[in-house]
Amino acid sequence: MALEHAILVSLLEQPGTGYELARRFDRSIGYFWTATHQQIYRVLKRMESDGLLAVRGLPQQSRPDKKVYSVMDAGRAALAQWLHEPIEPESIRHELAVKIRGAAFDDPSALIREVERHRKAHSDRLAHYLAGEQRDFTGPTAPGPLDAGQELQHVVLRGGIAYERMTIAWLDDVLATLHRLSGTQPRD
Amino acid sequence: MALEHAILVSLLEQPGTGYELARRFDRSIGYFWTATHQQIYRVLKRMESDGLLAVRGLPQQSRPDKKVYSVMDAGRAALAQWLHEPIEPESIRHELAVKIRGAAFDDPSALIREVERHRKAHSDRLAHYLAGEQRDFTGPTAPGPLDAGQELQHVVLRGGIAYERMTIAWLDDVLATLHRLSGTQPRD
DNA sequence: CTTGGCTATGCAACGAGTTGCATATCAAGA
DNA sequence: TCTTGATATGCAACTCGTTGCATAGCCAAG
């Protein structure tokens, strides 16, 4: 159900098409909720027929219509209601951790490459988040006093930054452990 | 697919019944991969018919048979193969973060209670992890020199601990932000 | 003595999410 | 010129995961 609510939040921040939403889910919103365009199109259609969203079809020459969605009162109400319901604290699903425990039944040193790859992906993501933070919140290009929405976006982004930093430190710990177990030298 | 592999790891560490697996998924394995008993029973059945697992039925008086599963060579091979395939770095799915951004379109102070509840859940989980770490790895009751499997279990547990600590610190940041926005006093 | 919780397995239905494919136009680069 | 990539939407088939329910005996607390 959370995809529906993530879409409502995103469309309240800014109306847009399914395609645009998919791109936002690859960027800001996607920092904490992912979705493919297939899923987004399907859910948008359902939400529209449920009366939560309004569509405005922009006819384009020699292309299918661009469909710009925006949130109706019923959608805003649905979001408000969800905000007042308690949700379960997340439980993590970390495939790499399964692999690490599985390495006990295989060759631990074979995992080193994979862990290094993940470390790089997380450190890239961290750099990306930090650049976004500079741009939108802390750097000279940032707007002046922030409104509530921006403050909340910033605190969520700080969460993403903290998550990536923690993950990188942990992966270093994992790498050190794997090297220790396989008697190899950690490089750099 | 990862549930299959998590089950293989768990059954390699120790054969067991579906029910026992479900409990392990509420404890150690579940620190990084969750599953309900329904899912586990279904996947166990499939894995058995795929020849990855062996079942030994223990007839019990006046009860349905207890089915103890263990990993066959094909299962071990399937795990080994998976270990050598690269996987995508995880993307987080954090419902609470969706709520926090959504709070901009509702009353931010209404979220404080919910965030405090999550903070408590994470701090309970942290205490639980730390107790487990003392018991199995760092305390006086811990076994002597650890084997590779235990080292790897420990590093995964350290990841869980780091995750909970990071999350608690972040939720404190969120609470401070929510209080600031709603002009209320943070209570200790 | 009854209620609730634990052990133990399972079906049925549904909802969430992924993967592969298909369509169609346009612009930039090889 | 041909290919690649971006824009833009969508179907079909599938797997994954959740929820509700059912069975069935055991044990402990109120």
Reported as a single tens digit per residue, the pLDDT across A178-187 is: 999 998 777 6
Number of neighbouring beta carbons within 10 Å of residue B2? 16
pLDDT of residue A64: 58
Q: Please state at what angle helix B73-84 crosses helix B2-13, rounded to 10 degrees.
A: 120
The pTM score is 0.92
Of B70 and A61, the one with more pLDDT:
B70
A97 to each of A114, A145, B39, how far by Cα in Å? 12, 41, 20
Q: A172 touching B, CB under 8 A?
A: no
Measured CA to CA, the distance from residue A102 to residue B46 in angstroms comes to: 20
Q: What is the pLDDT of residues A27-69, one digit of tens each?
A: 777 778 889 999 999 999 999 999 999 998 766 555 556 889 9
Q: Tell me if residue A62 falls in helix, strand or coil.
A: coil
The answer to whether A122 and A24 have CB atoms below 8 angstroms apart is no
Q: B104 touching A, CB under 8 A?
A: yes
> What Å value separates CA A88 and C1' D7?
38
Query: Which residues of chain A lie closer than 8 angstroms to B105, CB-CB?
Result: 9, 12, 76, 79-80, 149
Three-state helix/strand/coil letters over chain B? CHHHHHHHHHHHHCCECHHHHHHHHHCCHHHCCCCCHHHHHHHHHHHHHCCCEEEEEEEECCEEEEEEEEECHHHHHHHHHHHHCCCCCCCCCCHHHHHHHHHHHCCHHHHHHHHHHHHHHHHHHHHHHHHHHHHHHHCCCCCCCCCHHHHHHHHHHHHHHHHHHHHHHHHHHHHHHHHHHHCCCCCC
pLDDT of residue B60: 59
Q: B2 touching A, CB under 8 A?
A: yes
Q: Tell me if residue A106 falls in helix, strand or coil.
A: coil
Of B185 and A146, the one with more pLDDT:
A146
- Tokens, residue A164: 């990536």
Give the pLDDT mean for A129-139: 92
Q: A97 touching B, CB under 8 A?
A: yes
Phi-psi region of A127 (alpha: psi -120 to 50; beta: other; left: phi over 0): alpha
The answer to whether strand D lies under 7 Å from the CB of residue B32 is no
pLDDT of residue A53: 94
pLDDT of residue B174: 98
pLDDT of residue B32: 85
Residues 123-152 of B with CB under 8 A from A: 148-149, 151-152
Query: Which residues of chain A lie closer than 8 angstroms to B2, CB-CB?
Result: 93, 95, 98
Q: Please state at what angle helix A2-13 crosses helix A73-84, rounded to 10 degrees.
A: 120
Residues 18-47 of B with CB under 8 A from A: 29-34
The answer to whether strand C lies under 7 Å from the CB of residue B66 is yes
